[in-house]
Amino acid sequence: MPPVLRALLEAELDAGNTIIEVGHSHPAPPIGAYFKLARQVTTRPRESGDGLDFIDRHGSTSSGEFTDADRRFWILEAPNPADAAYPDMDAIRESLRPPPFVPTSRTSEESEPTHSGAAADHAEDAEAWRRFNDSKRIDYERWKEGIGYDLEALASLSVESQRAVERELTPPSGWRDVEALAALDTPTARETLRQAIHAANLEVRLAVLSRAPAVVDDATRTQVILTALGEAAPFAGRTEALDLVMEYHPPEVVQALFGWLLRASGEMAYHYAATLAAIHGVVDSRYDWSLRPMYLAFNTEDPAARREAFLALCAKLGVDGPALLAIAEQDLGARRDPKLPE
């Protein structure tokens, strides 16, 4: 469990809070693990900060959630009694029904078309709202396949309903929220996305770059990608970060990729090497396996073997390997990854 979350849990237990449930696969299937507390957190503000992200849920399973940037471990707060109650589905269905036709003093020939149009519009909005809400329920299959919200249903909503969705998704908590706000493309949504590029959640930042690039300037785009290259991991931003690098790779980003070849994990170095080969045009894409043995040479904890793989890749790319290695080693000395041996 990350130290920042463990410290919060221990502080709550010292303050008299209790653990009522321990589980896994939620809220981040299939790798999530969580502790659920009996009461809401009191030892720190219920807001993001100090290395933690807070989500105010008001749901039937939790009233709030704390996690860190990796979003794998969670501290959940028990739901409020009112939120935990099952919703009255009959009342919800009734609220979505079109209003009954109320005759006016005008003739039926004048009234009926007007009413029919209003009722049809109401019914269409209700159906679009139902479809959009259904798409927000992310099950394992939707999570695994990367299926977002129903954007067609979102586009079919009335202006008032779209504003309600916009408020609900602000600030965005994941890439699906970002995608929906980008689809709305209102001035308020665009400003929300401009602010979201500075979010603690890496998934949100990368989603803004890929789904709303127009709201981000090049300097910010470069800085977010550089940060992502260091933070990304399998199932936690790696694919998104490298997809962005394929589209946007100024010299600072390319140099960072060479640097990470020495200090990243063997698995990540493999993918950074494949990305560099694609950027330099040696292969058609980073999914091309023709140079796989060369990439696999980086999957080692032996510093000498890692440097040998570095020089071999540089020779294949047609770049000055010794010069790049000197720069990478200088950077390695300043920012040594403790996972790699001295």
| Domain definitions of the chain by residue range | 3-84, 249-342
Closest CA to 268 of 220, 316, 305, 235: 235
- DSSP secondary structure of 110-131: HHHHHHHHHHHHHHHHHHHHHH
Closest CA to 244 of 255, 235, 253: 253
212 and 182 Cβ atoms separated by less than 8 Å:
yes
Closest CA to 69 of 207, 224, 235, 202: 202
Report strand pairing: 19-24 vs 73-77. Answer: unpaired
Closest CA to 275 of 308, 231, 229: 229
> pLDDT tens string for the chain (342 positions)?
899 999 999 999 999 999 999 988 666 666 778 999 999 999 999 999 999 999 988 777 888 999 998 888 999 999 887 665 556 666 666 666 554 433 344 333 443 444 445 555 677 888 999 999 999 888 888 887 889 999 999 999 999 999 999 999 999 999 999 999 999 999 999 999 999 999 888 889 999 999 999 999 999 999 999 998 888 776 677 888 899 999 999 999 999 999 999 988 888 899 999 999 999 999 999 999 899 999 999 999 899 999 999 999 999 999 999 999 999 888 765 444 433 333
268 and 238 Cβ atoms separated by less than 8 Å:
yes
Q: What is the pLDDT of residue 112?
A: 41
Residues sharing a CB contact under 8 Å with residue 311, sequence separation 6 or more, in sequence order:
321, 322, 325
Rounded-to-5 percentages of helix, strand, coil across the chain: 55, 10, 35
Q: What is the pLDDT of residue 59?
A: 76
Q: How many Cβ atoms sit within 10 Å of the Cβ of residue 151?
A: 16
**Which phi and psi angles does 55 have, rounded to 5°?**
-125, 120
Which two structure tokens, joined as six digits, stand for 36? 């659920």
